[in-house]
């Protein structure tokens, strides 16, 4: 044992009766009732017939029981001074009862005080208290000092065993509480992660659909202001309606993705409008997260092209590589519009795509094409 263990109080979880267990609690109460009944029976049956001395014995036992309850509370709060004072009252009562001829009461209270000291006080203080209790009890005991010493040592051992049992239960309760706290934190983290995933899905679907509709509706507004032919305005409105239908379909697809029901990625990419698609490598089924990330990045990149470089041609390359999938979306040509339409983006789309890739252990690069030709390129790599 270390020096600290000799001076350390038993943990509060070891001293409390909370979550003791129904069987253990029932056993403890049965033991207390049996001991109290045995002592009372001996008090009453020692004389030929009950006398006033028997009544005094019972009163002394009740007083000691009250002191015992106070002692349990002070030791539970780890208050040393009052605990030692109450223990001294118990030992003093035992010595007084023994000196007055109440042997059963005196011996019972004395043994209980030793057990309570070893079970609920710091070990160094408990052993010192046991030695003092033994020294005070020997002069009034009718037994020899060796027998009294053996009795004291036996009940010291009983108290220490009960202490070890209580500390074991206390550590078990602490571990259970820590495990519950860890499980609660894990569940909260999983819930936050799922909320973030759903938020990304909602953003990607709405950003793609609503941005495309905004492009067409803004164009229709400009045409109306310029008194353009009705057919041109109608074409833009019809296109916006088509984007709304696509947004509804994408929302349903996002819900399917959240359920883990996904179609092959290449089928989705080849279904994109006005895009040159090239797929290389051996097709295989990607994880739901990786598949959804590829889809959302492709949609976001095309939305940016339509918004910031209308009229540009787009080439999309998707390849199955060893342990990962790679996507490249590049636009060629197209005019960068000025004014309200060009300012509709907040830059969150690229950040969201990068965050989505990094969460899976992948990477995303986006920027102007190096060298001649101009244009913008988005490159994605995600593990399978």
Q: Which domains does the chain have, with CATH numbers?
A: 3-181 (no CATH), 262-384 (3.30.565.10)
Task: Name the DSSP letter for residue 47.
Answer: S
pLDDT of residue 27: 64
Q: How far apart are CA 315 and CA 295, in angstroms?
A: 15
pLDDT of residue 329: 93
Question: Shortest CA distance to 161 belongs to which of 114, 198, 208?
Answer: 114
- Of the chain, the end-to-end C-alpha distance in Å amounts to 54
Report the DSSP pairing between strands 275-280 and 313-321.
parallel
Backbone φ and ψ of 100, nearest 5°: -85, 5
pLDDT of residue 49: 45
Q: Which residues contact 7 (CB under 8 A, 6 or more apart)?
A: 122, 123, 124
pLDDT of residue 324: 92
For the chain, which residues score pLDDT lower than 70?
1-3, 17-58, 197, 200-201, 204-205, 207-208, 249-250, 252-263, 334-348, 371-373
Backbone φ and ψ of 31, nearest 5°: -65, -45
């Amino acid at each position: 044992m270390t020096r600290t263990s000799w001076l350390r109080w038993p943990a509060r979880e070891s001293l409390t009766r909370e979550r003791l267990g129904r069987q253990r609690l029932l056993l403890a109460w049965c033991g207390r009732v049996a001991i109290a009944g045995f002592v009372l029976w001996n008090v009453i049956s020692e004389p030929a017939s009950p006398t006033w001395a028997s009544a005094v014995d019972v009163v002394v036992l009740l007083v000691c029981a009250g002191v015992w309850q106070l002692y349990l509370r002070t030791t539970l709060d780890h208050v040393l001074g009052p605990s030692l004072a109450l223990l001294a009252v118990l030992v003093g009562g035992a010595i007084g009862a023994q000196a007055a001829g109440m042997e059963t009461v005196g011996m019972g209270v004395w043994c209980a005080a030793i057990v309570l000291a070893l079970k609920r006080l710091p070990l160094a203080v408990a052993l010192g208290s046991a030695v003092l209790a033994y020294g005070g009890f020997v002069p009034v005991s009718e037994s020899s000092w060796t027998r009294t010493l053996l009795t004291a040592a036996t009940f010291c051992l009983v108290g220490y065993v009960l202490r070890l049992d209580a500390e074991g239960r206390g550590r078990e309760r602490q571990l259970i509480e820590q495990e519950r706290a860890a499980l609660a934190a894990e569940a909260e983290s999983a819930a936050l992660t799922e909320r973030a995933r759903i938020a990304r899905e909602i953003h990607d679907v709405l950003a793609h659909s609503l941005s495309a509709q905004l492009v067409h509706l803004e164009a229709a507004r400009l045409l109306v202001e310029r008194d353009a032919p009705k057919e041109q305005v109608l074409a833009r409105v019809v296109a916006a309606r088509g984007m709304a239908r696509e947004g509804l379909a994408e929302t349903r697809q996002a819900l399917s993705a959240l359920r883990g029901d996904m179609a092959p990625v290449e089928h989705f990419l080849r279904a994109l409008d006005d895009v040159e698609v090239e797929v290389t490598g051996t097709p295989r089924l990607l994880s739901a997260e990786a598949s959804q990330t590829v889809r959302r990045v492709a949609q976001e990149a095309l939305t940016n092209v339509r918004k910031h470089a209308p009229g540009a041609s787009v080439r999309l390359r998707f390849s199955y590589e060893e342990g990962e999938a790679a996507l490249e979306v590049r636009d060629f040509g197209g005019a960068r519009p000025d004014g309200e339409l060009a300012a509709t983006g907040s830059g969150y789309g690229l950040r969201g795509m990068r965050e989505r890739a990094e969460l899976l252990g992948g990477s995303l690069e986006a920027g102007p094409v190096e060298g001649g030709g101009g244009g913008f390129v988005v490159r994605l790599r995600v593990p399978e």
